[in-house]
Structure 1
C-alpha cells in the first residue's frame, strides 16, 4: 500500500484486466492506480480502493475474506471494508476499501524506536479487539478445508489443533517415511492435546506479519489489518505462531517473491512490546509447549505436502528438533 500523502506517479488505469475488474465491480476507472506485486495476486492500489486479481491458488479466498470482514462490521478492529468480489475472465477478483497509511514492512526500517513501539502496542490493541469478535466455531477458509481433507496443499497456513494427528497420517503416506520418528511425533501430540481441551475458539487472523498490517507512521498506530484469506476460529495464541516466527525469521517474510524480508535484529523488541500491550495473549498456562505444538503442525504440513523434496527433508529435521523442545523460539527474548 502507499501513503495517501505520497502522490501517484503512474498513469491512469489502463491495464485491460484492471479495467474489466472495475467494470465487473460497478466502479469507475477514473483516478490513478499503482500496480503492486504479491505472492498469489496482482494488486492495484487506487486513491479510494484496492483491486486484487488472484491466480486461483486459494479456492474461494475472496469469498472467505468477505465473510470475515462481515464479522468485523461494527467492531473496533481496524480493517479495510470489503466492497465486491467475483470471478471473471482474468480469474477471481476482489475490491476493498483503501485504508490510509503504508505497510508495517515498508515503514519499519526508517522508524525510530519510539514509533516502532507505538505501532506494536497499537497492533496489540487491534488483536485484542479482533479476538473479541464473535465467530462461528467452525470457521475455516474453504481452501484449508480442502487441504485438511487431503486435497492439494496450496500454502502455509495457521495450525488447526484438531487436525494435528491427521498431518501425521499424511506424512505416513510418504514413500520412505521415517516410521519411528512419526510414531514419536504421534505420541508427542497425544500427550499435549489436553493443553487445548478448555480453549474457546476466537477469530484469528492467522497470517500477521509486516506486510499484512497497515500503519500511520506519523501517529504510530495501526490503521488496518489486511488479507484475511487465512482467518479462522482457533485459540487466540495461535496468532503468536506467525508473529513470533516473523520476528525470528523475518527474512523469510518478504512481501513478494522478488523482495527482501526485514532484518530480524530490528525486531528483537517486538515480542516484549506486544506482550506489554496484550498481556493476556501470553498468559496461557504452558504457553511454550502450546507454541511448540503449533509449530509441529506447520512442520508436519510441510513435510507431508510440500512438492519440493528438499523442503520436506528440512521440515523433517525441524520436527526432530521440536521433539527435543527446540525451535526458532530459542532465538527470541519474550
Structure 2
C-alpha cells in the first residue's frame, strides 16, 4: 500500500540499529554512529560538545568531552549494568580511600539509560604496570587490599536489586563450567578435570554468605594511578557496571590473576593488607580460590591469568592452582 504523502516523516532514531549484543560490541566505540545521542545528552544537561572521544575498551558506549566529563550510554539489554553502576557509585563515592566518580546526571534517552560523571585523573594501572618497580608493585597490591577492605565494610541495605543470589548462582556456574571453559579454549586436559576438581573443592566454597558489595573490577584496566615525585600510586577506581552483592572472596580474584599471579610476595602484600593473616595462606585457600576463578561469571583464564607460558607448562588443575597461588604460610 503506498504511503500517505501528507503524513509527517518518521522521527529519526538517535541510536544506530544493530542486530544483537555481538553487533553492538562491534559498533559501541563508533563515535559517529552515536554522535546524535551524545549531542542530545549534552544539550539536555548543558555539557560541552567539544573534543568528543569514544573509549575503545569496555562494554558500553563511553565518551569523554573537553570539559573533563564522561557520558556512559547503556543499551536497553544492559539496563542491569546501569542499575549496578548507579547504585554502587552512590554507595562508594566518598566512602572508600580512593577516588570514585560522582554521578552528575542519570536519565534515559529513547530507552537507553545513561550516566554523566566527571573524568578522574590518572592512567590505568594496565598502562603503568610494566614501568612499576618491584617495591611499587608491592605497594600497589597493598593499596588495593586496603581499598577492598573498606569497600567490603560498606553497608548493603538498599542494594538487593544487584544481589548475585550466591546459592543459586554457584550451582548454575558449576553446571555450566566445563562447557564454558571448553568453548573458551582452555586446554582439554584441564577442561576434562573440571567436574572432579569442583567436586573436591565444593566443601571449601563460601557458605551461608553474608554478602558484601563487590565491584568485580579490581583489575588493572579499572584502577587509576598517578605519579607523585618518583613513585606511582593507586588513586582512582572506575567502571562499576559489574557491581553486585556476593561473597567477599570473589573480589580477590582480579588483583591476583591480573597482577599478582605467580608472585608470593605480591600476593602476601595484597592479602595481609586486606586483613588475612599469614597463617590463613593455606592449600585450602588456594584450592577455593582456583575453584572460584573457574566459576566466576566472566571467567576466561586464557585472558585473565598473567603468567607467561602457563598453558603449555601446567599439566593438571592441581598444578594450575600452585602456579597461580604460590602462597604459603611458611
TM interval, short-chain normalised: 0.5 to 0.7
Q: Which moved more, 1:45-54 or 1:282-291?
A: 282-291
Which of the residues 112, 127, 142 maps onto 1:121?
142
Match of 1:212 in 2: 222
Asked whether 1:66 is paired with 2:91, we answer no
1:222 paired residue among 227, 234, 244: 234
Query: Contact 2:76/2:111 (CA < 8 Å) preserved in 1?
Result: no
Cα 1:64–1:23 change in 2 (3 A) is farther
Compute the RMSD of aligned alpha carbons: 4.3
Q: 1:164 aligns with which of 166, 170, 183?
A: 170
Alignment match of 2:153 (pick from 132, 138, 141): 132
**Paired residues of 1:245 and 1:329 also in contact (CA < 8 A):** no
Displacement, 1:65?
0.8
**8 Å CA contact 1:42, 1:52 repeated in 2:** yes
SS in structure 2 of the partner of residue 29 of structure 1: coil
**Match for residue 330 of structure 1?**
323
Mapping of 1:135-284 within 5 angstroms? Answer: 135-136=156-157, 139=160, 141=162, 160=166, 162-170=168-176, 184=196, 187-188=199-200, 190-193=202-205, 196-197=206-207, 199-218=209-228, 220-247=232-259, 270-280=266-276, 283=280
CA contact (8 A) 1:120 1:273 kept: yes
Following superposition, the deviation at residue 188 of structure 1 comes to 3.4
Alignment match of 2:58 (pick from 26, 35, 39): 39
The match for 1:297 is 295
Q: Relative to structure 1, is the Cα distance of residues 224 and 183 closer, same or farther in structure 2, using a 3 angstrom cutoff?
A: closer
Larger CA Rg, structure 1 vs 2? 2
- Please give the alpha-carbon distance, in whole angstroms, between the structure 2 residues aligned to 1:234 and 1:62: 18
Q: Would you say how many aligned residue pairs link Structure 1 and Structure 2?
A: 271
Tell me which residue corresponds to 1:253.
none
Kindly indicate whether the alpha-carbon contact (under 8 Å) linking 2:286 and 2:325 is maintained by their aligned counterparts in 1: no
**Alpha-carbon spacing, 1:56–1:333, altered in 2? closer, same or farther (3 Å):** farther
Structure 1 residues 113, 57: CA separation in 2 closer, same or farther (over 3 Å shift)? farther
1:272-305: CA deviation from partner (whole Å, max 9, x where unpaired): 4323433428847731122023123138977xxx
C-alpha distance in structure 2 between counterparts of 1:181 and 1:115, whole Å:
37
* Aligned-residue offset at 1:80: 1.0
Q: Would the aligned equivalents of 1:123 and 1:221 in 2 still touch at CA under 8 Å? A: no
Q: Residue by residue, what CA displacement relative to the aligned partner does 1:189-234 show, whole Å, maximum 9, x if unpaired?
A: 54334xx235432222112211101122226332222111112222
Given that 2:223 and 2:238 are in contact with CA atoms closer than 8 Å, whether structure 1 keeps it comes out as: yes
TM-score by length of 1: 0.64
Q: CA deviation at 1:45?
A: 2.7
Equivalent pair of 1:141/1:231 in contact (CA under 8 Å): yes
- 1:75 Cα deviation after fit: 1.2
Q: Which runs of 5+ in 1 are unaligned?
A: 1-13, 146-159, 175-179, 250-263, 303-319
With the length of structure 2 as denominator, give the TM-score of the two structures. 0.65
Structure-2 separation of matches of 1:242 and 1:166: 21
1:121-166 per-residue CA deviation (whole Å, 9 max, x = no partner) reads: 3222211211111114974648x77xxxxxxxxxxxxxx4652222
Cα pair distance change 1:161/1:222, threshold 3 Å: farther
Q: Is the 8 A contact 2:224 2:237 kept in 1?
A: yes
Tell me, in whole angstroms, the C-alpha distance in 1 between the residues paired with 2:77 and 2:240.
15
Deviations 1:241-262 (A, max 9, x none): 222221378xxxxxxxxxxxxx
